[in-house]
Amino acid sequence: MRPRFAAAVALTATAAIALTGCTKKNETDTAGGTDAGSKTYKVAFVPKLQGVPYFEAMNAGGKEAAAALGNVEWLYQGPTQADAAAQADIVRSYIQQKVDALIVAPNDPDSMAPLLQQAKDAGIHVATADTDAPSSVREVFVNQATAEGIGQGLTDALLKAMGGKGKYAIVSCGQTAENLNSWIEVQKAYTKEKYPEAQIVDIVYAGEDQAKATQMATDLMNAHPDLTGLVGECTSSAPGVAQAVKDAGKIGKVFTVGLGTPQAMKPYLQDKSSTAAILWDVENLGYLTAWAGAQIAQGKPFAATNNVSSELSAVEYTEADKMLLLGPALAITDQNVDQFNY
């Protein structure tokens, strides 16, 4: 049995966690599942970038789903940098290959929308996963957690460490990433509403570059000597901001939270340069993505509640926004980070 993979968002050490064991994802119900047939459906997933632990874990989950479903060929390719133009070239390649379902985690949702329209015009079923292109013709968005859950969780975690007041800044990644921007909007509104003595003083963008995130966080601390909090909004900036605090000798003075993979965050959780963590199972997200691709490729509708597998037995679907929701985020701390071997 392989280890579970999850993305981590730094949270408070008191957050509760409910972890499931390692079980095979090979159960589907007769209504919502896919049955092996004579046709093999090509389901292609184009991540923001490949070669990073987060999307490689989604790929592993997608492969597992394809094996369990029996009638899916899982295809996976992304750019080597989070570049919208390079990602678009890969999407065009899959359109030319006439795959049955094309799923994208778009770096730039606005520029991706016309390409998804081209795919649809070519008879290809289209979807998004991990991050959305809400104005596109995508048939479903496979979402890891709600923007409210993530944005509020980040804010509560940071402000608890900061004592409910003070100045903080956000080091985000791709400036056009819909998921990151939706979380930031929640953080801005929620901070203003719940923490009137707290203030977001700046939001900067480091791309998917950890070293750049560290430098930007350092610059923010220098520009704002009274800064007491930093948020790393993605898997590269989360360890980046924690490293900056560690390098500056400000552990316990400047607190950080952020989205990061567990083993990457482990040293920062242990030395307290990062407060704690929340996560969702990224392999399960990949599994759900492949399952959703198989569903739309075969013209099968989603139920309000879908029994996808033994681990994903009640995945909710909302017709109004055409969204499959993996489920609520799970919390992790320095006490349980070793349960994750990635």
What pLDDT digit, counting tens, does each position of 210-227 carry? 999 999 999 999 999 999
Report the C-alpha gap between 291 and 267 in whole angstroms.
Answer: 35
Q: How confident is the model at residue 78 (pLDDT cuts 50, 70, 90)?
A: very high
Average pLDDT over residues 314-323: 97
Question: 254 CB contacts (<8 Å, ≥6 apart)?
Answer: 221, 227, 228, 229, 230, 245, 248
Q: Which range among 24-28, 35-39, 75-79, 249-253 shows the weakest confidence by mean pLDDT? A: 24-28
Residue 339 per-residue DSSP state? G
Average pLDDT of the residues of the chain: 89
Place of tokens 């392999």: 283
Report the C-alpha gap between 221 and 228 in whole angstroms.
Answer: 9
The confidence score (pLDDT) of residue 340 equals: 75
pLDDT value at 22 more than 50: no
The confidence score (pLDDT) of residue 183 equals: 95
Q: Where are the domains of the chain?
A: 30-144+282-327, 147-277
Q: How confident is the model at residue 35 (pLDDT cuts 50, 70, 90)?
A: very low
pLDDT value at 3 more than 80: no
Measured from the Cβ of residue 145, the count of other Cβ atoms closer than 10 Å reads 22
Same fold, 30-144+282-327 and 147-277: yes
Domain 30-144+282-327 in CATH 3.10.100.10? The answer is no
The confidence score (pLDDT) of residue 32 equals: 43
Output the CA torsion 190→191→193→198 (10° steps): 170
Question: 249 CB contacts (<8 Å, ≥6 apart)?
Answer: none
**Buried b or exposed e, range 96-119, using 16+ CB within 10 angstroms:** eeebbbbbbbbbbbeebbebbeeb
Report the C-alpha gap between 133 and 124 in whole angstroms.
Answer: 17
Among candidate residues 316, 323, 326, the one with its CA nearest the CA of residue 284: 326
Place of tokens 């220098």: 222
Q: Which range among 94-108, 197-211, 266-280 shows the weakest confidence by mean pLDDT? A: 266-280
Kind plus residue range of the DSSP H or E element containing 285: helix 282-297
pLDDT value at 30 more than 50: no
The fraction of the chain above a pLDDT of 70, given in percent, is 89
Average pLDDT over residues 240-252: 98
Average pLDDT over residues 333-341: 80
The confidence score (pLDDT) of residue 335 equals: 82
Report the C-alpha gap between 219 and 215 in whole angstroms.
Answer: 6
Total residue count of the chain as it appears in this document: 342
User: Would strands 277-281 and 330-332 be described as parallel, antiparallel, or unpaired?
Assistant: antiparallel
Q: How confident is the model at residue 201 (pLDDT cuts 50, 70, 90)?
A: very high
Residue type, 100: D
Among candidate residues 36, 34, 46, the one with its CA nearest the CA of residue 119: 46
Domain 147-277 in CATH 1.10.10.10? The answer is no
- Token pair, residue 300, equals 């099968």
What interhelical angle do 282-297 and 53-69 show, nearest 10? 50
Q: How confident is the model at residue 279 (pLDDT cuts 50, 70, 90)?
A: confident
pLDDT value at 14 more than 50: no
Q: Side by side, which strands form the sheet with 198-205?
A: 198-205, 166-172, 227-232, 255-260, 6-9, 277-281, 330-332
Q: How confident is the model at residue 263 (pLDDT cuts 50, 70, 90)?
A: confident
- Token pair, residue 341, equals 């071997």
The confidence score (pLDDT) of residue 261 equals: 82
Average pLDDT over residues 40-58: 94
Q: How confident is the model at residue 11 (pLDDT cuts 50, 70, 90)?
A: very low
Q: What is the full DSSP assignment across 155-176?
A: HHHHHHHTTT-EEEEEEES-TT
Of the ranges 145-154, 207-216, 259-268, 278-287, the best mean pLDDT one:
207-216
What pLDDT digit, counting tens, does each position of 91-150 carry? 999 999 999 999 999 999 999 999 999 999 999 999 999 999 999 999 999 999 999 989
Tell me, rounded to whole angstroms, the distance of Cα 136 from its chain centroid: 19
Among candidate residues 267, 270, 272, 278, the one with its CA nearest the CA of residue 256: 272
The confidence score (pLDDT) of residue 47 equals: 98
Name which residue leads in pLDDT, 30 or 276: 276
The confidence score (pLDDT) of residue 156 equals: 92
Q: How confident is the model at residue 26 (pLDDT cuts 50, 70, 90)?
A: very low
